């Protein structure tokens, strides 16, 4: 079968990939953790680099034939260092969760205490939540948000840190619509002698584009995925400023947790970092925030309950309780209307995680398509129409009409990377 195309070798999978490409082209993608990569990133991902094993690091491999791979990984590392202003970068983690687990392996022993944001408040599973290995193997303490404001309670963070003396503190998460106060977290970490890890998976592109403050100079280590707002492939990076922390992280990634890196992903990361260093990426990052704020204003004006009252970044978290509907049925109805979101817990949610009160939306993907504030206002109107109709129990006509209107809109804004 060497040399044969995917369509001739496996037409079933080829057809499904084509269907997914069509779905992505026709959908208003509002999932905050998703984006469209460029054709260049796609091309780098699907290359012969996937054929090569490269355990170790550039210049120190356990396999021969690394003349090209070493250059690719070195370029990716140097681009990460330059873009984020750090002294050290590791581009080998397979994804965000393994990257975060490497931080535990680098700085903690099983049973040590970690302080992270609770999952129901916007934190990540790997910040010590109970169902994660990080919550099972370590003593996890969790902070949240103030009920009145929906914002991180830094007084609570400090009180918990002083009481429990964690060795590791995580800041960042998956459903935080407000600016993360890295200096405040750093002050608390110094006070208790903890390593501060900034998880910027969601906001890395905003940080790189100057649309969100950087954790560099405040956090000891930084973890991030390379997709989401950074518009790269599904991978991850770890960064640090000190030699000591970098050495510990490198040993934790390999040989601590992983074998050979995915070289095709490394190349795609390098391409994405190159793209993120261009002047137009700053304009993109700024527009992501403008779009999110325009969409938030539209939704708030239509009576939606936004956690924290709005957004400073790419992400909006909404509690649908006042609308008389749960997040799951709303998200499924919106998906049928061509508006792709995810249902999500909200702070102090009385409902179960698989049937929560809220939905989470974001603007990275629609901004990549070139949409602006006017389109965000239209999207907000569609969300309101669908949610209101579903709550009333008579939504199919509305869903059908909105889907047709969504298709008309997406036709005007071709998605990057898709044919």
Please report, in range form, the residues annotated as the binding site for (6S)-5,6,7,8-tetrahydrofolate.
119, 123-125, 244
State the residue for tokens 């390379």: 226
**Phi and psi (nearest 5°) for 286?**
-65, -40
Q: How far apart are CA 336 and CA 321, in angstroms?
A: 21
Q: Exactly one of 113, 126, 225, 367 is catalytic; which is it? A: 225
What crossing angle do the helices spanning 96-107 and 243-251 adopt, rounded to 10°?
110
Q: Do 230 and 307 form a contact (C-beta atoms < 8 A)?
A: no
Q: Which of 164, 215, 155, 206 is nearest to 186 (CA)?
A: 215
Q: Which of 127, 29, 75 is nearest to 366 (CA)?
A: 29
State the residue for tokens 């001739």: 8
Q: From start to end of 6-87, where are the E strands?
A: 28-29, 56-57, 60-61
- Torsion sign over Cα 286, 287, 288, 289: positive
199 catalytic, yes or no?
yes
Binding residues: 119, 123-125, 244
DSSP 8-state class, residue 145:
B
Q: Exactly one of 234, 351, 377, 401 is catalytic; which is it? A: 234
Q: Exactly one of 199, 275, 312, 340 is catalytic; which is it? A: 199
State the residue for tokens 């999207």: 379
Contacts of 386-393 spanning 24+ positions with Cβ under 8 A: 386/330, 386/333, 386/334, 386/337, 386/339, 387/320, 387/323, 387/325, 387/330, 387/333, 387/334, 388/323, 389/333, 390/325, 390/329, 390/330, 390/333, 391/323, 391/324, 391/325
Q: How far apart are CA 289 and CA 4, in angstroms?
A: 44
Q: Exactly one of 21, 53, 112, 373 is catalytic; which is it? A: 53
What CA–CA distances, in Å, run from 258 to 108, 226, 251, 282?
Answer: 18, 18, 10, 34
Q: How far apart are CA 258 and CA 251, in angstroms?
A: 10
Q: Exactly one of 10, 21, 55, 156 is catalytic; which is it? A: 55
Q: Do 271 and 41 form a contact (C-beta atoms < 8 A)?
A: yes
Instruction: Spell out the alpha helix ranges (H) of 239-324.
Output: 243-251, 263-276, 279-301
Q: Exactly one of 29, 79, 228, 360 is catalytic; which is it? A: 228
53 catalytic, yes or no?
yes
Q: Do 251 and 104 form a contact (C-beta atoms < 8 A)?
A: no
* Residues assigned a catalytic role: 53, 55, 199, 225, 228, 234
């Amino acid at each position: 079968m060497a040399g044969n195309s995917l369509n001739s070798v496996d037409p079933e999978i080829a057809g499904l990939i084509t269907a997914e490409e069509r779905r992505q082209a026709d959908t208003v993608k509002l999932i905050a953790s998703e984006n469209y990569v460029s054709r260049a990133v796609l091309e780098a991902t699907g290359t012969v680099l996937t054929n090569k094993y490269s355990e170790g690091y550039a210049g120190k491999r356990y396999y021969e034939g690394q003349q090209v791979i070493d250059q690719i990984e070195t370029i990716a590392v140097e681009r990460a260092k330059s873009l984020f202003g750090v002294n050290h970068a590791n581009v080998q983690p397979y994804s965000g969760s393994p990257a975060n687990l490497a931080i535990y392996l680098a700085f903690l022993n099983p049973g040590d205490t970690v302080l992270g944001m609770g999952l129901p408040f916007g934190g990540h599973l790997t910040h010590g939540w109970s169902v994660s290995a990080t919550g099972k193997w370590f003593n996890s303490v969790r902070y949240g948000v103030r009920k009145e404001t929906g914002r991180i309670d830094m007084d609570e963070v400090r009180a918990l840190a002083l009481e429990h003396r964690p060795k590791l503190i995580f800041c960042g998460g998956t459903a935080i619509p407000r600016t993360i106060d890295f200096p405040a977290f750093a002050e608390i970490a110094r006070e208790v002698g903890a390593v501060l890890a900034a998880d910027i998976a969601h906001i890395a592109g905003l940080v790189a584009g100057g649309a969100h403050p950087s954790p560099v100079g405040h956090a000891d280590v930084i973890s991030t995925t390379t997709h989401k707002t950074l518009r790269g492939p599904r991978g991850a990076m770890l960064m640090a400023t000190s030699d000591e922390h970098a050495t510990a992280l490198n040993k934790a990634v390999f040989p601590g947790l992983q074998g050979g890196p995915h070289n095709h992903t490394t190349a795609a990361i390098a391409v994405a970092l190159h793209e993120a260093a261009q002047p137009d990426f700053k304009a993109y990052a700024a527009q992501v925030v403008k779009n999110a704020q325009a969409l938030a204003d539209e939704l708030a004006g239509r009576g939606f309950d936004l956690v924290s009252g709005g957004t400073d970044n790419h992400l909006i978290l909404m509690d649908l309780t006042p609308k008389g509907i749960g997040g799951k049925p709303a998200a499924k109805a919106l998906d049928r209307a061509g508006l792709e979101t995810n249902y999500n817990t909200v702070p102090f949610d009385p409902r179960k995680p698989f049937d929560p009160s809220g939905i989470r939306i974001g603007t990275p993907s629609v901004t990549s398509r070139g949409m602006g504030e006017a389109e965000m206002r239209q999207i907000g109107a569609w969300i309101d129409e669908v949610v209101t109709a579903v709550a009333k129990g008579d939504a199919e006509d509305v869903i059908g009409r909105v889907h047709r209107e969504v298709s008309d809109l997406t036709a005007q804004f071709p998605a990057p990377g898709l044919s």
